[in-house]
Amino acid sequence: MHVCPVLTRFTTPCVTTRQLVVRLAVFFVLVVAGNCGQRVDAQDGGPLVLVARIEDQAISPVTARYIARAIEAAESQSAECLVIMLDTPGGLATSTREIVKQILGSRTCVVVYVAPHGAEAASAGGFITLSAHVAAMAPSTTIGAMHPVSIGGLPIPTPTSPAPQERGTDETPKDAEKTKRPASTMEEKVVNNTAAWARGLARHHGRNADWAERAVNESIVATETEAVEAGVVDLVAPNLRELVEQISGRSVELAEGPITLETSKARLQDFEMWWGDRFLATLANPNVAFLLMVFGFYGVLFEFYSPGWGVAGTLGIVCIVLAFFGLSVLPINYTGLLLIALAMAMFVAEVFVSSYGALAAGGIVCLTIGGLMLVDSPAGFARVSIAVVAPLSAATALITIFLVGSIVRAHRSRVQTGSEGLLGTTAIAANLFEKHEDGYRGTVQVHGEFWNAWSSEPIAAQQQVSVIDREGVTLRVEPTENEVSARTSQLSGETK
């Protein structure tokens, strides 16, 4: 508590630089000492239990990397066990298998705890729970719905479905065949392989293999009490501390042999996700990745509108790189990505082609559909929201047409500086041009500047002339059309 007054005194105007440095050093030492003190206390306590948290997150490569780091930390710190507090709607099969392999090969007991109250271990979460050495659930939680889903989030048809009487309907077998979409050979392979995997995980830890297979084939779901009665999980615990007390004395089978857990009065230590994983998890949000990609397009496009290379172009490239970095851990649909690129091309082409808005409309449609298709999302995995895609598509069309139109107008407009800016302009003769062997020479005023001038025709003072060329610091001029017409009319009058 004695640190706060030090911090508040930093704001006083009488503090010198030396005092500021000293106080910062003291503050740093106090913080480090406090952290060291916490570590010493942790080492002097009872057995260590690490706690990793997956809170309402889809299973993704970021999650798999986080769990792998948590298991490594538990092994390196000789923790009694690692508790994974799980709350997930599902996720990617590849990441799920990676997590399961890490758990099965761990030298430390891994406890999967479906918590807090109201949490779920759906789809991928069910496989992770079945693979744990100890599986537990909090009150008001659910587990199951482990049927695999295909690209686009649609469930893969089950190769064999229960009879109509088992489903409790009056539907005849003939009607059932009409309403049921037949599964392809590949879909049958996926479902059968997933069901066998679930049975294997359940049997490995002595759990209900039949229930696990039904959770895959029929997508059944169980509450915490139903799961314990069916032998799917081991116990129900209302909180983390109660869980640690209940599993104390339990014998578990690890890859290196059986052990007995001694977690009574254990120290609970959270294993936080690394900031790099947090950053990647943020970028891996489909909405964030989509916004970064579009904003990057804005930045690069605006850079073409302004001369040179500046902040907009740099930020645009950074946004595009970050967008692809986030998309690298998502199940990307390359058709959606191609539609987004096509939409950008349509927006640019709208300025050059007289399509009367057809290209812009096509670009909006392509960007909207491409954004919605961008992530091949299984059930429970985040997608790009229509609330983000629709207004951003319309805004992108307007901004693109405005910026590219401004670029085209700027390129087609007359140059205002340099030699090109002088050609075709009207100048005023500052004096009477004197005759020389090669023509008439004098001085003209143009753009507020005086230039030496040469003409093949005589030029009077204050006469308007047109600049037709430049040679060094001398301008070649000729009388304007109005002056020529006036002189012709004057000569015609004198002749009459």
Q: How large a percentage of the chain has pLDDT more than 90?
A: 31
The answer, yes or no, to whether residue 106 has pLDDT greater than 90, is yes
Please give the average per-residue pLDDT across 434-445, as a whole number.
86
Q: How much is the pLDDT for 345? A: 85
Please give the average per-residue pLDDT across 112-140, as a whole number.
95
User: 156 and 187 in contact (C-beta within 8 Å)?
Assistant: yes
Tokens in use for 304? 């073409």
Q: What is the DSSP string of 386-451?
A: HHHHHHHHHHHHHHHHHHHHHHHHHHHSPP-SHHHHHTT-EEEESSPPEEETTEEEEEEEETTEEE
Q: How much is the pLDDT for 287? A: 86
Closest of 409, 423, 410 to residue 451, by C-alpha: 423
At 406, the pLDDT band (50, 70, 90 cuts) reads low
Question: How many other β-carbons are positioned within 10 Å of the β-carbon of residue 35?
Answer: 10
Please write the tens of the pLDDT for every residue from 43-63. Answer: 446 899 999 999 888 888 889
The answer, yes or no, to whether residue 69 has pLDDT greater than 60, is yes
Please write the tens of the pLDDT for every residue from 269-320. Answer: 999 988 888 888 788 788 888 889 888 887 887 776 666 667 778 888 899 8
Q: If you search the block for the tokens 């996926």, which residue do you land on?
A: 190
Q: How much is the pLDDT for 251? A: 92
At 2, the pLDDT band (50, 70, 90 cuts) reads very low
Q: How much is the pLDDT for 92? A: 82
The answer, yes or no, to whether residue 372 has pLDDT greater than 70, is yes
User: 165 and 143 in contact (C-beta within 8 Å)?
Assistant: no
Q: How much is the pLDDT for 93? A: 85
Higher pLDDT: 149 or 288? It is 288
Question: How many other β-carbons are positioned within 10 Å of the β-carbon of residue 267?
Answer: 18
Q: How much is the pLDDT for 381? A: 53
Question: How many other β-carbons are positioned within 10 Å of the β-carbon of residue 324?
Answer: 16
Largest alpha-carbon pair distance within the chain? Answer: 129
The answer, yes or no, to whether residue 147 has pLDDT greater than 70, is yes
Q: How large a percentage of the chain has pLDDT more than 70?
A: 73
Please give the average per-residue pLDDT across 452-466, as a whole number.
87
CA 59, 60, 61: angle at the middle one, nearest 5? Answer: 140
Please give the average per-residue pLDDT across 455-484, as a whole number.
81
Higher pLDDT: 31 or 193? It is 193
Question: How many other β-carbons are positioned within 10 Å of the β-carbon of residue 110?
Answer: 27
Higher pLDDT: 476 or 6? It is 476
The SS3 assignment for 150 reads coil
Q: How much is the pLDDT for 356? A: 65
Tokens in use for 366? 């392509």
Q: How much is the pLDDT for 184? A: 67
User: 270 and 53 in contact (C-beta within 8 Å)?
Assistant: yes
Higher pLDDT: 424 or 146? It is 146
CA 300, distance to chain mean position in Å, is 18
At 163, the pLDDT band (50, 70, 90 cuts) reads very low
Instruction: Please name every residue paired with 453 in a beta bridge, in sequence order, or none if there are none.
Output: 442, 475
Give this prediction's pTM: 0.61
Please write the tens of the pLDDT for every residue from 190-233. Answer: 889 999 999 999 999 999 999 999 999 998 999 999 999 999 99
The answer, yes or no, to whether residue 118 has pLDDT greater than 80, is yes
Phi/psi at 278 (5° precision): -65, -45
The answer, yes or no, to whether residue 9 has pLDDT greater than 70, is no
The SS3 assignment for 134 reads strand
Instruction: Please name every residue paired with 443 in a beta bridge, in sequence order, or none if there are none.
Output: 452
Q: How much is the pLDDT for 299? A: 82
At 178, the pLDDT band (50, 70, 90 cuts) reads very low
Estimate the crossing angle of helix 185-204 against helix 209-217, to 10 degrees: 150
Q: How much is the pLDDT for 327? A: 78
Average predicted confidence (pLDDT) for the chain:
78
Tokens in use for 231? 């032998």
Q: How much is the pLDDT for 171? A: 44
The answer, yes or no, to whether residue 11 has pLDDT greater than 50, is no
The amino acid sitting at 483 is: E
Q: How much is the pLDDT for 411? A: 60
Q: How much is the pLDDT for 25? A: 53
Please write the tens of the pLDDT for every residue from 231-255. Answer: 999 999 999 999 999 999 999 999 8
Please give the average per-residue pLDDT across 10-24, as a whole number.
45
User: 115 and 85 in contact (C-beta within 8 Å)?
Assistant: yes
Which one of 16-25, 323-332, 367-376 scores highest in mean pLDDT? 367-376
